[in-house]
Structure 1
């Protein structure tokens, strides 16, 4: 466990991508199975413990320390695992039996809930501060050491002459602790193969269009299609050779099987293929807002009323596999032709084709992006959040390869709001107030009040974060656990220019309005709080467009 703790500690303080890969590759190269496999699972977010929760950790530290002191320390440190690791009263004689990472993972998976407190306390007694922190991070989830799943897989690929994309291709057929994966990359075993007839395949993602991109890109080399406001999904179906049964699955972009929430859509997957597309709700042939779709997401059971009033639909972007043939190496133009024939042949009302946007120049595409209704999106124009650009000759590659796919989202809306509350961040931001709640004015005169409309934790630079943190500390007027209320009257306060993608009605916000994808685009030191925007500005935006819920969709 201490070796894993050292890896996490070094990763947390290492800003360079290649250096992080080198650290992980060195760990995987010198740590034996199954220890390194469990480390890989932790780094890629593939571990979960049903009975070990943050509440267990809080209960343990409450027994060992003064609760008031812990509350004050937690407020100062801002991270539960770090606070407990520092405050845990280690025994004068530390036990010699330091747990290994494999022991921790396997014990947590097999132990009954009632026995966990004693076991966890014994581990914390045996570990040093860094080991306790790593153990608690493992249990509570969210390592936050600046490592993505893709980066960890890249480090594994460096153990042999294998491309990271090859690891991605076999990843979702593997099981923790990945013994066959390590054997393959080190040349000790065959490439892992899955007999799943409907496996998940790593999605291809797009880069956001940046300034200057259009100066070097040839419009004739690309096709364009609408970027729909749903969630990216993969619909896979095939015949199991073992059971002779037709297996159907609906995956999220990250590979989570979400089919249980959409039984009506699974019925439509009566084919042997894998489709990449957008999950939407269509009522009377019209795409509904994300707010409607969200009511069906993350549900274990779906009511008959939902199935009737919120029918699920897939708008297809790409065809990855057809009749057992893997099409991903083909150019996009060829896959598109196959997809058009496939959708026409399937002719199911739950499936349709995402239309292409005709354009001859970037200026023409910009006009279409600004007015989707006039460019072919018709009554579904309000469900368009931008356009996607795909090279005619692009194969379907996992990850986010450069130069092949681009997303050009519609320009965000902007509003001036007043900072109301702040909370500490996590990981490197645990010592800064970096999560900000902001609001706009409702009412007038003496009855005017600020009502919250959103929360943002990005969009600002490191220097601006320092300035925001300083303002919060100097102008705190109240505390609610880890949350600080910041002075926000008409005379004293801080105005933030907030950019966002959409608005929706919300019963969780006092304003009745919530933003989607909000981020702080500018600090308005020049603007007094009394001149911040009013709720009427957001109401006018709502009336001018179909609502979009405040919760984020699955980004492409």
Structure 2
């Protein structure tokens, strides 16, 4: 358990991607089976322990510590595992003498897998007693699944590939046919056996990604070599149906099928389509596309009521065809795959699948003009694809480009601040900002967005100090900040889209907002008004 605790601690404090990769590779090399497999599953959130819930952890600690003290501590720290690990009464003596060194990840996981809901708390309580604070933190993260160590599932797969000297696409293709603790996978990565047979039904195929571009860079390429299509503002998915298996994968290979049963039901084909998941309604022989805010009603749900499915029906706008029947098309030129895609989409339900249209152009100037004046607000830019390009996993430069619309900018006023998580748990780093509305002589602020990135570490310290010095009310971990026409902090906010929203008092919601810069020089009354955003929306 101690090596896993040290791994988590170092991952949290390591900002470099390459350094995180090395930590994961070294851990896999030094840790035996099945501990390393369970650790990997915990980090990728693929380890599910049903006998332990956060509420049970809170009950345990409140039996040992004054509940009011725990409540104040939890409010300050902002993370359950970190709070419990620090506040749990530590017995006398060294953790090693209490048997902490003999406690392994596999012992914990296998014991909890076989434990009842009544036995689970007793086991956890006993382990908390023998571990030190670092070990307690790792234990609680392991069993509750609340990993926030700056490591994505994709990064873990890359680390496994580096550890075994394999291509990451091989790991991605195998992943959904594997279960923790991944013994066949590690046997192959160690060089002890042949590559495991892909047991995943309707497997994920690693996606091809586009490189951002601009007008200057495009002048290096011949426009005759490329085809163009719109870049739609949904989520990139891969829908695959083979035999009796049907799967919907995100671009990173996560299985999101459960959130879209209506789309699964329509996947009566044999093949794999690469496209954009959107919400839309049949209208005049086509599909009227909903905004991203409509799609958000369907995302991150384990169960979707029939009423919600009917109100926000999901469909896929097809970009590419990777598999048709038992034929792999990825090695074909894009132009050829496109012809196959057109024939394929013609044979699937028109209310659930349509074709992303190609755009006519003769020069990059034509492309720029199209980009600046898209026909639909759900479009966020253009895609450019080489006619002769194969479908290659990763982000090769040249075959595919994306040219997104320029971000929009407004000046807003800081209204609320909330504590961050992990290494930011001591700072107010999540900010809600608003714009003015109402009479010019008596304006009121209404929230229009929330952002937690776009500023430097030094700027974070400056904002945190401003929040503490200008707090007017407290609501748990949230502080209301003084924001008046003549007193407040103005922030320039960049965002990529704007939607109408009945859930927000302002009636609008920003898409991908981020802090562009701090306007210490600007008085709050000069910040933008709601009418400015409404004009952008219209």
- TM-score, scaled relative to structure 1: 0.87
SS of the equivalent of 2:359 reads coil
The 1-side partners of 2:140 and 2:394 are apart by 30
Query: 1:73 and 1:456 mapped to 2: Cα distance?
Result: 25
Q: 2:303 matched to which residue of 1?
A: 300
How much has 1:500 moved relative to structure 2? Answer: 1.7
Counterpart-to-counterpart distance in 2, 1:247 and 1:524: 54
Corresponding residue for residue 435 of structure 1? 430
2:218 to 208, 214, 217: 214
| Poorly superposed stretches of 4+, deviation over 6 Å | none
Change beyond 3 A, Cα 1:74–1:192: same
**Are positions 1:202 and 2:200 aligned together?**
no
Shift of 1:309: 5.3
Aligned to 2:277: 279
CA distance in 2, matches of 1:307, 1:155: 38
Alignment of 1:476-555 (within 5 A): 476-542=471-537, 544=538
Q: How many residues are paired up?
A: 529
SS at match of 2:154: helix
CA distance in 1, matches of 2:485, 2:42: 47
Matches within 5 A, 1:387-466: 387-444=382-439, 447-466=442-461
What do residues 359-418 of structure 1 show as CA deviations (whole Å, max 9, x unaligned)?
343332111111123xxxxxxx22211112333444334444444433222222222111
Are residues 454 and 110 of structure 1, via their aligned partners in 2, closer, same or farther at CA, if it must alter by over 3 Å? farther
Distance 2:314 2:226 in 1: 30
Q: Distance in 2 between matches of 1:63 and 1:142?
A: 22
C-alpha separation in 1, matches of 2:43 and 2:92: 33
Deviates more, 1:485-494 or 1:437-446: 437-446
Change (3 A) 1:436 1:204: same
On the 8 A contact 2:488/2:523 being kept in 1, the answer is yes
Distance change in 2, residues 1:255/1:508 (3 Å): same
Contact 1:332 1:396 in 2 (8 A): yes
Tell me if the contact between 1:419 and 1:496 (Cα under 8 Å) persists in the aligned partners: yes
Give the 3-state SS of the residue equivalent to 1:318 in structure 2: strand
Alpha-carbon separation, structure 2, partners of 1:394 and 1:3: 45
Structure 1 pair 131–389 and aligned structure 2 pair: CA distance change class (3 A): farther
Q: SS of the residue aligned with 1:113?
A: coil
Distance 1:360 1:392 in 2: 14
Question: Does residue 31 in structure 1 map to residue 26 in structure 2?
Answer: no
Helix, strand or coil at the partner of 2:164? coil
Shift of 1:34: 0.8
Cα offsets for 1:135-171 (capped at 9, x unmatched): 2222343422232222222222233331222212212
1:428-474 C-alpha deviation (Å, 9 max, x unpaired): 22222110011122223675322211111112222222221221122
Tell me how far 1:263 sits from its aligned partner. 4.2
Partner of 1:312: 314
Cα 1:44/1:197, change in 2 over 3 Å: closer
Per mean C-alpha deviation after superposition, the further-off stretch among 284-293 and 69-78 is: 69-78
Q: Say if 1:139 and 1:446 are closer, same or farther in 2 by CA, change over 3 A.
A: farther
Query: Could you list the per-position Cα deviations for residues 116-140 of structure 1 after superposition, in whole angstroms to 9, with x for gaps in the alignment?
Result: 3322221111111111111222234
Range with bigger deviation, 436-445 or 126-135: 436-445
Equivalent residue, structure 2, for 1:166:
170
Q: Which 10-residue stretch deviates more, 93-102 or 433-442?
A: 93-102
Check the 8 A contact 1:168/1:398 in 2, yes or no: no
Q: C-alpha root-mean-square deviation of aligned residues, in Å?
A: 2.6
Secondary structure of 2:377 counterpart: helix
* Cα 1:359–1:36 shift into 2, 3 Å: same
CA distance 1:265–1:146, shift in 2 (3 Å): closer
Moved more, 136-145 or 472-481: 136-145
Structure 2 regions of 5+ residues with no counterpart? Answer: none
TM-score when scaled to structure 2? 0.90
Distance 1:20 1:255, change over 3 A: closer
